[in-house]
Amino acid sequence: MFSTMPILAITALLGLPIVEEGKPRAALAPLDAKAPAEVRRAAGEFQRVLEKMTGTKLPAEIQGDAPIVHIGRDAFVDRAGLQLDRLDEDGFVIHTVDNKHLILAGRTPHATEFAVYRFLQKHAGVRWYFPTELGEVVPKRATFSVGELAEREEPSFHSRLWSSAAPFDGGAWERQNLCRGRYSFHHNLLYVFPPSKLFDAHPDWYPEIDGKRRRPTDDNDHHWQPCCANAEAARYAAEAARKYFDANPEASSFSLGMNDTSASGFCECAECRKLDPTDPAQQKTPRGLPNYSNRFFTFVNRVAEALAKSHPDKYLGCLAYNVTEPPPAFDVHPRVVPYLTAGRANWTDPAIREGDQKLIRQWCAKVPVVGIYDYYYGAGFISPRIFTGLTEESLKFAHQQGVRAFYAEIYSTWSLDGPKAYVASQLLWNVDQKAEALVDEFCRDLFGQAAEPMRRYFRFLEDRWLARPSGSMVMWAGFFDIAQLDLWPPETCRKARSILEEAKKAAAGDEPVVRERVRLYSDGFRQTELWSAVYHGEKSLDSVDAIEGYIAAKTELARLQKDVVQSNPLHIAPIAFEDRAGNLPGASLGKAILRLADRPEAEAVLKRLADPSQPAEVALAARTALFLRKHPEKTTERLANPGIEPEPGKPAEGNLPPGWGTWFRPETPGEAKWTTTAARTGTRGLSIRGAVAGCALQTIPVEPGQRFVGSVYVRGVFRPEAEVSVVVQWQEKSGKWLTAAARPSDRLPEGGSREWTRLCVLAEAPKEAGRLLFTVSAYGQGPDEAVEIDDASLLELPAEDAAAVPVQ
Ligand SMILES: [Zn+2]
């Protein structure tokens, strides 16, 4: 160890000193008054980071014969013969001249910024692992010098663009990690052909649908595509591109991205249909959609040929996705840049991987520049979704085939996404790196003494993603879907938590910044744990303990979101999960509380839950349950024959119990049986077997504002797609359905139950209601599947309602 000291000193002597013993040795070359904003920002960042590293600020004016750092192109740099103009537009040099000048300069101003960041990364060990100062790593040192340098760098992927990696930092993190988009390819045809301007004069540029040219609803309507066979429309699009380039001479590309619609917005005219494949094997895309690639790329080729006459060096970007995913049967103009859309995180599934790779190969054989469009979310996931190994694999594969452009929707939730964006960004610049090594570095630099457990933590998360089942997966599996937590049951969360606890312990003696970083990921994962507790907890709210645990997790989740998540942009998903996800947990709680009404041991918990500090629906359900226990005499049973029994003294005949009706969807199978085997109590119950859609029902006259507790016991085991539930629906007195009114319901858990299970609903008659339909329904039953039904009830609560019941 001690022997390295003299060597370092010699290197410093021989090299170019920048800071020595905390004193500046070099100076920045003064910037030209007309220096572009990017270059000014780069110089400012260079000074800022150097100061953070060494404690001293470099002067920005020449100091005698002190070494000079040139940021961007100045007269000296242009005389140095570095041939910057031969570089890619994102390329740069990191170069020393005579141990006196350090040049950090790109061909373009933004490439100069990249030169500065890359220099700091490679030669000073600086990293920007995630946005904000917490993710910035600047190794401290009093002396900083560099040896002789002659580096030229160009990116592996020309275009490296994230959609909303960090909406809160003005793009700083992306610049620090050398990310920048180059090609335009997004949905754009609706803006190329604004219907308000063009439809009246050129209806035949718009899609023929059901024999008529369709006028889009307005200029922002995405649900249409132009008539691709119309050569005039293509000429017009080329003119639009030409105008755009004349107004924006710096732009390298114009987008012909199709509008964001499915097959339905495409033209049905005879000329368009003539362009589609005649071979039945080619009429569908690999993902089973209609194949409109021939017609779409006929249009794109026409635009490209027309544009090339005046602007041969410009590109036309577009989307090869959905119905235009496979390449067309003919050549595509070489200035067309198609972006292939797919979620390569799904390469866990060999069939998906193979299909995606085939498309990439086919497209790379068609055109010189191909882009890939990926989905790295981020938002939509409340559980970690890390796939750095697949990132490496897919980027290396794509690059090898010739792909040179990348775009991904990411909308990061940084505290869950860990090294995901960092690893991908680094590989996009230089694809010859290993994801493993990048994650190792991430953990080593960020977590100090906790590096080892944190490395294990991220490996554990990635292994969970890789453990997803193959076969049934689609690109969007888990996206804004609470069922993503099937990968994260409580016992799995506990394993991850125990690793985080180790990390916390290991970091205890380390610097505050290290502890704060461990806390960031620990708090991030706390969201997953609590969502998991809520999601999995709701599946079995069958005991007082389970209900209390569920409510505690829900309360804690709300507190975490308010006190921790909302105060830190690194925790905030750019699109809130609750805003977009369906089937959120919570619907079962009120019913589970109502079910406690007949459990003697539930008195104490019901009283706690009835407190006004609880969420309104919880308190109401608890008060109602308490009321049912205390004052059964004040309720009125409104069902006829709730026990599904024969009338006293009359024989049980037929398949319909007195008071009950049944309904089955016309012309579909399904039968009802009034039978002794379906009895839970008494002598008889009702069974519904093999129903595609069927129910047992009663219709009861009601007044608006009346409140009811409905319940029924059911049992039966089903395939997962079958559904058994009790539903309360409403009609006006006339029998007209109140379709907009809430329909309280409760359903049997997926797969059903061998045991009798009580389903409960709390219902309040809406304003226009005249009739209540109490239905016990079955959907999607197999031919041999039956639900047994017994002991139903519809209690009308008195007007002096449960809310008035004293709870103490
Ligand atoms: Zn057409």
- Which residue has 């938002």 as its token pair? 379
The CA distance from 284 to 333, in Å, is: 23
Q: 268 CA distance to ligand 1 centroid (A)?
A: 6
Q: 227 CA distance to ligand 1 centroid (A)?
A: 4
Q: 230 CA distance to ligand 1 centroid (A)?
A: 7
* Cβ atoms of 71 and 41 closer than 8 Å: no
The residues that bridge with 97 in the sheet, in sequence order, are 101
The residues that bridge with 402 in the sheet, in sequence order, are none
Q: 360 CA distance to ligand 1 centroid (A)?
A: 28
The CA distance from 378 to 480, in Å, is: 10
Q: 272 CA distance to ligand 1 centroid (A)?
A: 4
- DSSP code for 426: H
Q: What strands, in cross-sheet order, belong to the sheet with 144-146?
A: 23-24, 16-20, 144-146
* Cβ atoms of 136 and 380 closer than 8 Å: no
Q: Check residue 99 and give left, alpha or beta (phi > 0: left; psi -120 to 50: alpha).
A: left
Beta strands, E only, 157-231: 159-163, 208-209, 212-213
Tokens of 269: 């005219």
Q: Percent of the chain, pLDDT > 90? A: 85
Q: 210 CA distance to ligand 1 centroid (A)?
A: 12
pLDDT value, residue 804: 54
Mean pLDDT over residues 683-687, rounded? 96
Say which residues have a Cβ less than 8 Å from residue 502's Cβ, sequence separation at least 6.
450, 453
Q: Is 90 exceeded by the pLDDT of residue 1?
A: no
Q: Is 80 exceeded by the pLDDT of residue 289?
A: yes
Render pLDDT for 431-487 as a digit per residue (tens, 0 to 9).
999 999 999 999 999 999 999 999 999 999 999 999 988 765 555 678 999 999 999
Q: 325 CA distance to ligand 1 centroid (A)?
A: 19
Q: 307 CA distance to ligand 1 centroid (A)?
A: 22
Q: 209 CA distance to ligand 1 centroid (A)?
A: 9
Most confident of 318-322, 334-338, 471-475, 747-751: 334-338
pLDDT value, residue 469: 80
Render pLDDT for 621-641 as a digit per residue (tens, 0 to 9).
999 999 999 999 999 999 999
Q: Is 90 exceeded by the pLDDT of residue 749?
A: no
Q: 274 CA distance to ligand 1 centroid (A)?
A: 9
Three-state secondary structure call for residue 497: helix
pLDDT value, residue 6: 43
Q: 229 CA distance to ligand 1 centroid (A)?
A: 5
Quickly count: other Cβ atoms within 10 Å of residue 36's Cβ. 17
Q: 305 CA distance to ligand 1 centroid (A)?
A: 20
The residues that bridge with 180 in the sheet, in sequence order, are 160
The residues that bridge with 208 in the sheet, in sequence order, are 213
Report strand pairing: 315-320 vs 253-255.
parallel
The CA distance from 453 to 764, in Å, is: 53
Q: 306 CA distance to ligand 1 centroid (A)?
A: 20
Q: 196 CA distance to ligand 1 centroid (A)?
A: 19
Three-state secondary structure call for residue 266: coil
The CA distance from 105 to 111, in Å, is: 7
Q: 269 CA distance to ligand 1 centroid (A)?
A: 4
CA 444 to chain centre: 28
Q: 5 CA distance to ligand 1 centroid (A)?
A: 75
Tokens of 152: 């030229």
The CA distance from 4 to 152, in Å, is: 29
Q: 264 CA distance to ligand 1 centroid (A)?
A: 13
Tokens of 64: 């005698």
Candidates 617, 621, 589, 800; CA nearest to 709 is 621
Q: Is 90 exceeded by the pLDDT of residue 650?
A: no
Render pLDDT for 394-417 as a digit per residue (tens, 0 to 9).
999 999 999 999 999 999 999 999
Three-state secondary structure call for residue 555: helix
Mean pLDDT over residues 678-684, rounded? 96
- Which residue has 């009283």 as its token pair? 607
Q: 341 CA distance to ligand 1 centroid (A)?
A: 25
Q: 207 CA distance to ligand 1 centroid (A)?
A: 6
Q: 273 CA distance to ligand 1 centroid (A)?
A: 7
Q: Is 50 exceeded by the pLDDT of residue 712?
A: yes
Quickly count: other Cβ atoms within 10 Å of residue 79's Cβ. 9
- All domains of the chain, ordered by start, with CATH? 4-154 (3.30.379.10), 189-433 (no CATH), 637-804 (2.60.120.260)
Q: 211 CA distance to ligand 1 centroid (A)?
A: 11
Q: 216 CA distance to ligand 1 centroid (A)?
A: 15
pLDDT value, residue 4: 42
The CA distance from 234 to 138, in Å, is: 53
Q: 215 CA distance to ligand 1 centroid (A)?
A: 14
Mark the residues whose beta carbon lies below 5 A from ion ligand 1.
227, 229, 267, 269, 272
Q: 296 CA distance to ligand 1 centroid (A)?
A: 10
Q: 231 CA distance to ligand 1 centroid (A)?
A: 10
Q: 337 CA distance to ligand 1 centroid (A)?
A: 23
Q: 267 CA distance to ligand 1 centroid (A)?
A: 5
Render pLDDT for 498-548 as a digit per residue (tens, 0 to 9).
999 999 999 999 999 999 999 999 999 999 999 999 999 998 888 889 999
The residues that bridge with 729 in the sheet, in sequence order, are 773
Cis peptide before 371 (omega within 30 of 0): no
Q: 380 CA distance to ligand 1 centroid (A)?
A: 37
Three-state secondary structure call for residue 707: strand
Q: 690 CA distance to ligand 1 centroid (A)?
A: 47
Q: 560 CA distance to ligand 1 centroid (A)?
A: 54
Q: 312 CA distance to ligand 1 centroid (A)?
A: 28
The CA distance from 387 to 214, in Å, is: 43
Q: 537 CA distance to ligand 1 centroid (A)?
A: 54
